[in-house]
Amino acid sequence: MIFTFLLSFILSTRLSPPPEETSFVSGQVVSIENTPIDAATILLLPHVGERVLASGMSDSEGRFNLSLRVILAEDSVRFRVMRVGIRPQIFTRSVSSLKNIILKVDERPVELRGLDVKAEKISISGDTIGFNIAAYKNSTDETLADVLRRLPGINVSHNGQIFYQGEPISKFYIEGLDMLKGRYGIATNSLHPDDVSSIEVMERHQEIEALKEFSRSDRTAINVKLKSSKRGVWIGSADLAGGIEKEGVWDGKLLLSRFRKKSQQLGLLQTNNTGKDPSIGFRSFGATQDRLPSPLADITLPKPSLSEEHTYTHNKDIAGSINMIQSLSEKTVSGFNFIMTKGQELLKMHEISTHILPNGQEVRFDEISDGAKQSNEYAGMLHLNVNKAERYVDTRFSIDLGKRESTVDIQAESPYKVSQKETPISLSHKLVWTEVFDQIGLNFKSNNSYFSFPQHLLLNDKSQVLREQSWHGDYALDLSIRSLIPHTQTSLGISCKNETSNMETKTHKIRKQQLQTEITPEIFYSRRKVQWSSKLKVAYTSLHLMNSEKSQYRKITFEPDIYFSYVPDRYLSFDVAYRHSTQTPDIRMLYDFPLYTGHRTSSKYQGILFQSSGHLLRGRINYKDVRKMLFSSLSLNYTNNAPKYLFGNKIEADTVTFTSHSTDRRATVWTAGLRLSKGFFLKSLKLGLETTYTKIQGPLLLQDQIVGQKTELSSLRADLSLNPNSFTEVALQSEAQGIRSHIDMGQSLPSILALNTEARIAIKPSEQLHLVLDYKHFYNNSNTSVPNFHLLNAMIQYKINKIGLYAKVQNLFNQKTYRHTRTNRFSSYETLYNLRGRMVLIGIRFKLI
3-state SS of 775-820 is EEEEEECCCCCCCEEEEEEEEEEEEECCEEEEEEEECCCCCCEEEE
**Using only C-alpha atoms, what is the Rg of the chain?**
29
What would the pLDDT profile of 639-679 be if each residue is shown by its tens digit? 999 999 999 888 887 788 889 999 999 999 999 999 999 99
E strands along 483-549, which residues? 488-504, 509-527, 530-546
The CA-atom distances, in angstroms, between 424 and each of 316, 400, 456, 469, 676 are 22, 8, 12, 10, 43
Band (pLDDT 50/70/90 cuts) for residue 115 is very low
Band (pLDDT 50/70/90 cuts) for residue 4 is very low
**Which three-class secondary structure state does DSSP give residue 3?**
helix
681 against 476, higher pLDDT: 476
Per-residue pLDDT, 20: 38
Find the helix or strand (DSSP H, E) in which 756 lies: strand 748-763
Residue 342, amino acid? K
Domains of the chain: 23-105 (2.60.40.1120), 122-231 (2.170.130.10), 258-847 (2.40.170.20)
What would the pLDDT profile of 201-242 be if each residue is shown by its tens digit? 998 888 888 777 666 678 899 999 999 889 899 999 999 999
With 80 as the cut, is the pLDDT of residue 468 above it? yes
Q: How far apart are CA 397 and CA 661, in angstroms?
A: 40
Per-residue pLDDT, 363: 85
CB-count burial class (<10 Å; 0-12, 13-18, 19+) for 598: buried
What would the pLDDT profile of 53-76 be if each residue is shown by its tens digit? 887 778 767 888 887 766 666 778
Q: How far apart are CA 589 and CA 543, in angstroms?
A: 14
Nearest residue to 422 (alpha-carbon basis) of 471, 384, 457 = 457
Residue 142, amino acid? E
667 against 98, higher pLDDT: 667
With 90 as the cut, is the pLDDT of residue 684 above it? no
Weakest-pLDDT range from 276-280, 341-345, 452-456, 754-758: 276-280
DSSP code of residue 229:
G
Per-residue pLDDT, 308: 42
Per-residue pLDDT, 71: 63
Weakest-pLDDT range from 19-28, 270-279, 613-622: 19-28
Residue 253, amino acid? K
Band (pLDDT 50/70/90 cuts) for residue 747 is low
Weakest-pLDDT range from 125-139, 369-383, 400-414, 686-700: 125-139
Question: Cβ distance 811 to 340 under 8 Å?
Answer: no
Per-residue pLDDT, 774: 93
Degrees, nearest 5: CA angle 236-237-239: 160
Mean pLDDT of the chain: 86
Degrees, nearest 5: CA angle 198-200-202: 180
Average pLDDT over residues 791-820: 91
217 against 409, higher pLDDT: 409
Percent of the chain with pLDDT over 70: 90
With 60 as the cut, is the pLDDT of residue 532 above it? yes
Find the helix or strand (DSSP H, E) in which 9 lies: helix 2-14
Question: What proportions of the chain, in percent to the nearest 5, are helix, strand and coil?
Answer: 5, 65, 30
Counting other chains too, the contacts that 329-333 makes at CB distance below 8 Å and 24 or more residues apart are 329/13, 330/65, 331/209, 331/386, 331/387, 331/388, 332/12, 332/13, 332/384, 332/385, 332/386, 332/387, 333/177, 333/384, 333/385
What would the pLDDT profile of 547-580 be if each residue is shown by its tens digit? 878 889 999 999 999 999 998 988 899 999 999 9
What would the pLDDT profile of 265-321 be if each residue is shown by its tens digit? 999 999 999 888 888 888 888 654 445 667 777 666 666 666 544 556 788 999 999
Give the predicted TM-score (pTM) of the model: 0.82
Q: What residues have CB less than 8 Å from 235, skipping those under 6 apart?
A: 195, 255, 256, 257, 258, 259, 847, 849
Per-residue pLDDT, 12: 44
Q: What residues have CB less than 8 Å from 16, skipping those under 6 apart?
A: none
